[in-house]
Amino acid sequence: MAELGNPQNTIAILQKYQFHFQKKFGQNFLIDPSVLERIVDAAQITGEDCVLEIGPGIGTMTQYLAERAGKVIAVEIDRALMPVLEDTLSAYDNVTILQADILKVDIAKLSEEQNGGRPFKVVANLPYYITTPILMNLLEHRAPVQSITVMVQKEVAERMQTGPGTKDYGALSLAVQYYALPEIVANVPPNCFIPRPSVGSAVIRLTCYGEPPVEVRDERRMFALIRASFNQRRKTLANGLSNAAGLGITREQVTLALEQMGLPATVRGETLTLEQFAKLSNLLEK
Ligand code: SAM
């Protein structure tokens, strides 16, 4: 089987199977070997690893992964791609293809069945229409994963990696940074895909923490505070949090907690670090 990571071989496969791209599945296939190498390098795959690939498409990156990993489990939603994958991955006996929606897969069960309960390394060129649900589902459920190396929209990668005081900083930055260390490892232009996406892309590696980097007694409450703070981005925290339905916090309680943290009552949520949100949440719990 010819290697897929170039435009000619990709087009030949698409024609052989008369494949029609499905926009609803976010199908933009990679056609640049140097980008594929970069992703697989960034994921730091060794022969010991079991890789979970989300959305293998026609199997381009799967071939690269199968060359380096002990095992690859690839989960693809589009039934039309099953005969294609059977063909393009026929030379590899360490690849398992599952036809499923990744949002409905029980990753802990999959790791028991396929990897003796050990954590996966997730690698993917993600479908952009569900990037955040896929990532938050893995992180929030503490799925057994060591790292997640993924192609996403450039703007989303920047939101995940940025810190306080920038316009991109928000609930997604804090949620990702609570569970993992994010590092953007490459920017990728639209001409590396077929069809070309309308936005720029970036590869980001999230290295999952064993323990969260901050101490917080009630995670759910901290994330409720974070969401409320960024829902009302232009408001001071004292106003934003006391207005937020469901939190049951008064203006005075917020002001007092901020004072205990050495912060002025006029402070806005967008300037607080994850550590400060954790502290605020602990103080407001009482
Ligand atoms: N990995 C291939 C590549 O790099 O050329 C294809 C990447 S393409 C951006 C995203 C892939 O994810 C498509 O093959 C699409 O059908 C698949 N996909 C979309 N939604 C999915 C879901 N909910 N679960 C599993 N796969 C999905």
Query: Residues near ligand 1 with C-beta < 6 Å?
Result: 25-30, 54-57, 60-61, 75-78, 101-103, 125, 127, 130
Residue 65: per-residue pLDDT: 98
Q: 113 alpha carbon to ligand 1 midpoint, in Å?
A: 23
pLDDT per residue as tens digits for the range 217-234 = 999 999 999 999 998 888
Residue with CA at minimum distance from ligand 1 atom 19: 25
Section 12-17 average pLDDT: 96
For the cut 60, the answer to whether the pLDDT of residue 103 exceeds it is yes
Residues 162, 177: Cα–Cα separation, whole Å: 9
Ligand 1 pocket: which of 125, 150, 201 to mutate (most atoms within 8 A of CB) = 125
Domain positions in the chain: 7-208, 219-285
With 70 as the cut, is the pLDDT of residue 2 above it?
no
Contact 278, 222 (CB under 8 A): yes
Closest C-alpha to ligand 1, atom 1: 56
Distance 56 CA to ligand 1 centre (A): 6
The predicted-structure confidence for 143-188, as pLDDT tens digits, reads as follows 999 999 999 999 999 999 999 989 999 999 999 999 999 999 999 9
Mean pLDDT (whole number) for 75-79: 98
Specify the pLDDT at position 200: 98
Please determine, for residue 1, whether its predicted confidence score (pLDDT) is greater than 60: no
Question: What fold characterizes domain 7-208?
Answer: Rossmann fold (3.40.50)
The percent of residues in the chain predicted with pLDDT above 70, rounded, is 99
Atom of ligand 1 nearest to the CA of 36: 4
Gap from CA of 68 to ligand 1 centroid (Å): 21
Considering the chain, what percentage of its residues have pLDDT values greater than 90?
A: 92
**Taking 80 as the threshold, does the pLDDT of residue 198 lie above it?**
yes
Calpha distance 266→239 (Å, rounded): 9
Confidence band for 244, pLDDT divided at 50, 70 and 90: confident
Calculate how far, in angstroms, residue 62's C-alpha sits from the geometric centre of ligand 1. Answer: 12
Neighbours of 88 (CB within 10 A): 26
**Average per-residue pLDDT for the chain:** 95
pLDDT for the residue numbered 60? 97
pTM of the full structure: 0.96
What pLDDT is stored for residue 3 in this prediction?
80
Q: Which fold has domain 219-285?
A: Helicase, Ruva Protein; domain 3 (1.10.8)
Give the per-residue SS3 of 33-47: HHHHHHHHHHCCCCC
Q: How many CB atoms lie within 10 A of CB 133?
A: 11
- The pLDDT of 241-259, averaged and rounded, is 91
Q: What is the pLDDT of residues 16-63, one digit of tens each?
A: 999 999 999 999 999 999 999 999 999 999 999 999 999 999 999 999
